[in-house]
Structure 1
């Protein structure tokens, strides 16, 4: 069954939209609308894979920083402290295993 999820504010200048989900996996689009928008440092028990659809970002994962551009992807381990800063507006596609139930609760 196809579900449609609304776009919600994640952080200032950043929206989040769940694209698909199951108990074991979730796909989410994060749209960064302006240079300087941030995904604040945080951690969660889910393994996360991030694919850069568009834009340019600098990520911090467990204190190590690196830049990513369209077509690049990487994995963030469970409980790693991570966040990003937008250098050029764009879209990140994140997958989470298992699903981020907190994202479903914050979708009206």
Structure 2
């Protein structure tokens, strides 16, 4: 079954749209509209895979900092504190296991 989810504000200059979900897995697009927009530092119990569809980003995951650009991907372990800053506007495709139920119930 195909579901359509709305695009909602995430952080200033950033929107989030759930692309697909099941209890075991969720795929989400984060669209960074402007240079300098940030995905604030946070952690969650979900394993996260991030694929850079477009743009360029500076990430911090735990005690590591690195830059990523279109076509690159990486995994963020469960519980790791992480965040990013947009260096060039673009889109991140994040996959979460299990699903982020909070993304289905709120605009935050």
2:2, 2:103 → 1: CA distance? 17
How big is each residue's C-alpha offset from its partner over 1:29-54, in whole Å with a ceiling of 9 and x where there is no partner?
00000000000000000000000000
Shift of 1:6: 0.1
1:89, 1:101 → 2: CA distance? 27
Runs of at least 4 residues of structure 1 off by over 3 A? none
1:1-108 alignment, distance < 5 Å? 1-106=1-106
Shift of 1:20: 0.1
With normalisation by structure 2, the TM-score equals 0.98
Residue 103 of structure 1 aligns to a residue whose secondary structure is helix
Residue 11 of structure 1 aligns to a residue whose secondary structure is coil
1:7, 1:79 → 2: CA distance? 26
Residue 45 of structure 1 aligns to a residue whose secondary structure is coil
Residue 10 of structure 2 aligns to a residue whose secondary structure is strand
2:49, 2:89 → 1: CA distance? 19
With normalisation by structure 1, the TM-score equals 0.98
Shift of 1:106: 1.2
Structure 1: 5+ residue stretches without partners: none
Q: Cα RMSD over matched residues? A: 0.6
Q: How many residues align?
A: 107
Shift of 1:60: 0.1
